[in-house]
Amino acid sequence: MTSSQLRQQLLDTMRSSTSSGLNRGATGNLSVRFKEGFLITPSGISPTDMSADDMVFMDMQGKWSGDHKPSSEWRLHREILLNRPEFDAVLHAHSTFATVLACLGKEIPPFHYMIAAAGGKTVRCAPYATFGTQTLAAYALEALQDRQACLLANHGLLVAARDLPQALALAIEVENLCEQYCHLLQIGTPIILSDAEMEVVLEKFKGYGPNAVIEANESLQKTDS
């Protein structure tokens, strides 16, 4: 995609994150890989007041250009895009239920098989660090090992995906799981799925949704070769 197309998609996705309830006001941020760096939402501007031209280009050394400062969480985005080449989009949100659990420092266990949508048997909670710091970025990267989503203690939600639509969809799914888990904790002790069952679910998820198309293409390529 061109720079203009990605800037517009960033804007549209950021506005969707607000309309879906993931963010309010100027909270949250979003990035997408572009050329040798990435485009990221500007600092302190509500999605309703943003334009596509406001998106900030940064290289992997942290240099940026444009009329606005990049999000204060740019280190968080850079660390993931730099170290996880399979991901091209990163979304950070202060969604209500994910933030509630993050403020309790709780990992989300496999109370429901859809936890596997985030790439693992649990959704980890990264330790607390001041926002915008390299320490927070390092904690997040560790929590995302073999995962596509994590909580950030006393902060919010973080997801990484192949593209912006998938990042938004995953963030909505994880927030939904967080809401369910919060309600369960109010009622009693959830029944947790076993490691063995989650292994089965994770294997099945490799052929679920967009993954099924990717696996089919890879299989065809191997057959052709």
Residues 6+ apart with CB under 8 A from 86: 162
Determine the Cα–Cα distance for residues 10 and 21; give it in Å rounded to an integer.
17
Distances (CA, A) of 136 to 2, 35, 85: 31, 25, 20
Asked if 79 and 141 touch (Cβ cutoff 8 Å), the reply is yes
Q: Would you state the structure tokens that stand for residue 78, as one six-digit string?
A: 């850079």
In the chain, alpha helices (H): 3-19, 74-83, 96-103, 134-143, 164-187, 195-205, 210-224
**Residue type present at position 138:** A
| Spatial CA neighbour of 156 closest among 8, 7, 30 | 30
Asked if 140 and 158 touch (Cβ cutoff 8 Å), the reply is yes
Q: Would you state the structure tokens that stand for residue 132, as one six-digit string?
A: 């915008």
Q: Which of 73, 86, 173, 197 is catalytic?
A: 73
Q: Say whether 46 sits in a helix, a strand or coil.
A: coil
Examine the residue annotation and report whether 142 is marked as an active-site residue of this protein.
no
Active site residues: 73
